[in-house]
């Protein structure tokens, strides 16, 4: 497949789901990196820090093309507008470049991510905000880190098992998070965010939720929380954290959904801190 000046690999439909997911994020990430090396301009979406580039679109188009060839019955949902209804009970959720602001400004802290989820219309009982996820894959190209895991496979980093997932209280570990500055002026978000933030030993805010969640899974970061995550920012990392022995939760506070990941104790404590603030009518 040729995308602009770059040729990406045609994948083998006989790959299993984990092999396919790994190949897709690796190829999409490398494609985006090559395009950045050739020069890119960002296009503003909702704010100066929420941007999209031609690399986002090209990487998503590549993944879409490969999935339609390799998994024609599955649905596909992408951050940059892809929406394909499938005839199976499964949907692939694509984030071609997570951390586009970082990507555009030369940081290495960005990735390509993908998840495979069960469709809620088939499997009732799951939360609309937090559907069942079968697997996740996250690839950080400039550091050559690939996290993989899901219901049927323990989590790995570059093929090596992720072990030693800790279960410490939030007060003893780092918490990765993100909140847009405008939300800090809104008490609906600012109050629960502050309550959770002050409970941690230290805070980290790097700008790529999937990169953060991969590092929660491998123990580099202690836990993670963020509100109003779309599925492509949550499901890949959720699958890997859970496959690594961690826990996840979604907590609604003042009409906003907060997404939480870490060890079981940290998830319980962060969830309680978020919910501890006054509720607005």
Q: Residues within the annotated binding site for Mg(2+)?
A: 79, 95, 98, 233
CB within 8 A of 133, min separation 6: which ones?
115, 116, 117, 118, 150, 151, 235, 238, 239
Report in angstroms the alpha-carbon separations of 191 from 203, 206, 247. 16, 21, 24
Of the candidates 182, 180, 151, 188, the one whose C-alpha atom is nearest the C-alpha of residue 278 is: 188
Long-range contacts formed by 19-22: CB under 8 A, 24+ apart: 20/66, 20/70, 20/71, 21/114, 21/116, 21/135, 21/136, 21/137, 21/148, 22/137, 22/139, 22/146, 22/148
Three-class SS of residue 99?
Answer: coil
- Binding-site residues, in ranges, read 79, 95, 98, 233
Match 């790959």 to its residue by tokens: 15
**Whole-number Å distance between alpha carbons of 273 and 249:** 13
Read off the DSSP letter of residue 278. Answer: P
Match 């990169």 to its residue by tokens: 211
């Amino acid at each position: 497949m040729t995308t602009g000046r770059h040729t990406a690999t045609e994948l083998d439909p006989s790959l299993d789901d984990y092999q396919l997911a790994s190949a897709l994020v690796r190829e999409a990430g490398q494609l985006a990196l090559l395009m950045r090396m050739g020069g890119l301009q960002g296009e503003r979406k909702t704010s100066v820090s929420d941007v999209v580039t031609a690399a986002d679109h090209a990487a998503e188009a590549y993944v879409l093309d490969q999935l339609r060839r390799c998994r024609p019955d599955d649905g596909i949902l992408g951050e940059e507008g892809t929406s394909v209804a499938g005839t199976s009970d499964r949907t692939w959720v694509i984030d071609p470049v997570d951390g586009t602001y970082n990507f555009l400004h030369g940081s290495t802290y960005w990735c390509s991510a993908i998840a495979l989820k069960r469709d809620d219309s088939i499997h009732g009982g799951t939360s609309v905000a937090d559907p069942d996820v079968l697997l996740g894959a996250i690839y950080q190209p400039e550091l050559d880190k690939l996290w993989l895991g899901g219901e049927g496979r323990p989590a790995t980093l570059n093929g090596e098992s992720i072990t030693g997932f800790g279960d410490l209280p939030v007060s003893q570990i780092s918490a990765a998070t993100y909140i847009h500055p405008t939300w800090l002026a809104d008490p609906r978000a600012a109050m629960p965010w502050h309550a959770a933030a002050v409970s941690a030993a230290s805070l980290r805010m790097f700008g790529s939720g999937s990169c953060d969640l991969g590092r929660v899974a491998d123990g580099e970061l202690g836990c993670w929380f963020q509100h109003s995550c779309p599925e492509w920012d949550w499901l890949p990392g959720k699958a890997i954290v859970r496959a690594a022995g961690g826990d996840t939760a979604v907590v609604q506070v003042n009409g906003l959904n907060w997404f939480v990941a870490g060890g079981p104790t940290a998830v319980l404590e962060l969830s309680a801190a978020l919910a501890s603030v006054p509720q607005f009518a």
